[in-house]
Structure 1
């Protein structure tokens, strides 16, 4: 009885950990009951191909430790993909701030906060590209492969894995800034030009002409950047797969 319960319980916790952090599966649009039911269904489907589970009672101290480990491993797999979406949202925040649309924000149920409209637009476009590129299936594939790369164990997780995930968080700033850099550069040149104009003709009202020009140049720059978004998302998904493989190797405790 314990072996049958362990075959489903510990994989279910790892899958549930992914669904708690992944930007698509943890969406507020998906009901919690549906999320748990889908995690249970997925557990039943993949159970026959999973490696042998530890012969440890589920309701015991080592069993609780294994359960906590599985939640953490799943959370790290989902959080790694969330970094991709966060990088795009950062690019939208930076671009909207430079365009003068920092005040134009709407409530985002995903982050439970007011998010600038440019960030919401890029986030929605990234979600559509993510689904069109089967990114959700790639996450599930990485999740299933993780059981063979790092089977459930009662041993503590390697500390270097958490540091690796934290270091990987720098992708938020580096890739987000790279994506927003063309818009920031165009608006910087625009602001310098407006400054020269108002210096040469002090009677010009910088507030009356500056905002429309900045908004127009920012919109044009955003229009020119959006076609490169699919290439960016595809590269980030490929990097995600490589990172998860490296993370699973790092998670394995030293023998």
Structure 2
């Protein structure tokens, strides 16, 4: 009984970090995923991963335990947000594509966040999600979360959340998100821009040609054809995006561990 009471604070801290990660991490933070499922999954993973947690000093259940809990919540949320920010590049790229194709007004509700997102962004997001699951990316995230206990010990009172390295890592991940979004959207954006230039030349050369009637269907048809042609390149770009996501995850985990 004494052993159980001694290990109970450690078990609760492991449970807090895993559950906080699920609140912010991609896929797991979807509104379609019930909160009861997130808590049950966190509890199950805690039971499985508890044996892999390094031995730590006994943690007393006093007022300092609240600081430990707050630290674990921040660690889990920050690690999850790093992954979520990188995954948001797909939706940002879809918004750029829709702006060029002419579908910027045709937004749909994202079931993950409940917000309105572009049609192409939602389509790309579904493809990225399926591709991420196909390469066992969710298993990599869980494995990385469990390995975080090796880098960020549970018995440490606090973590350097406001250090320069942590802030610069977050800024770098945010910058890489926009660069990745631009890389995903650049081929289609440039191609549609050339279509716009061509339509403008035709409108100037042949004034009788009603460019406003045929311009939008031509742009949409060219956009859909380019989406099909660029699909292999999109998957290759996703590989680079997920690699940056895991690298940012590991870098943030290292700096939080001091």
Shorter-chain TM range is over 0.9
Runs of 4+ in structure 1 off by over 6 angstroms are: none
Pairing 1:238–2:243 present: yes
Instruction: Please report how far the alpha carbon of residue 2 of structure 1 lies from its aligned counterpart in structure 2 after TM superposition.
Output: 4.3
Partners of 1:115 and 1:64 in 2: CA distance: 38
The residue number in structure 1 matching 2:83 is 81
| Residue equivalent to 2:25 | 22
Instruction: Confirm or deny: 8 A CA contact 2:53 2:149 kept in the other structure.
Output: yes
1:137 corresponds to which residue? 139
Work out which of the residue numbers 190, 198, 206 in structure 1 matches 2:195: 190
TM-score (structure 2 length as normaliser): 0.92
Aligned partner of 2:96 in structure 1 is: 94
Contact 1:2/1:57 (8 A) holds in 2: no
> Please, which of 28, 41, 44 is the counterpart of residue 44 of structure 2?
41
Residues 5 and 58 in structure 1, CA contact (< 8 A), matched pair in contact too = no
Question: How many residue pairs end up in the alignment?
Answer: 252
Aligned counterparts of 1:128 and 1:37: Cα–Cα separation in 2: 23
Q: Which runs of 5+ in 2 are unaligned?
A: none
CA distance in 2, matches of 1:13, 1:248: 16
Are residues 1:179 and 2:187 paired? no
Contact 1:6 1:53 in 2 (8 A): no
CA deviation after TM superposition for structure 1 residue 6, in Å: 1.6
Deviations 1:1-49 (A, max 9, x none): 5422122111111101110111111122211001101101100111011
1:248 pairs with 245, 250, 253, which one?
Answer: 253
Q: Is the 8 A contact 2:183 2:237 kept in 1?
A: no
Where do 5+ consecutive residues of structure 1 fail to align?
Answer: none
Q: TM-score, normalised by structure 1?
A: 0.93
Task: Compute the RMSD of aligned alpha carbons.
Answer: 1.5
C-alpha contact (below 8 Å) 2:31/2:114 kept by paired residues: no
How far 1:235 moved relative to its partner? 2.3
| Contact preservation (8 Å) 1:76, 1:165 | no
Counterpart contact for 1:91–1:180, Cα < 8 Å:
yes
Alpha-carbon distance between aligned partners in 2 of 1:176 and 1:223, rounded to the nearest angstrom: 18
How far apart, in 2, do the equivalents of 1:83 and 1:196 lie? 40
Cα pair 2:79 2:253 within 8 Å, conserved: no
Contact 1:106 1:115 in 2 (8 A): yes
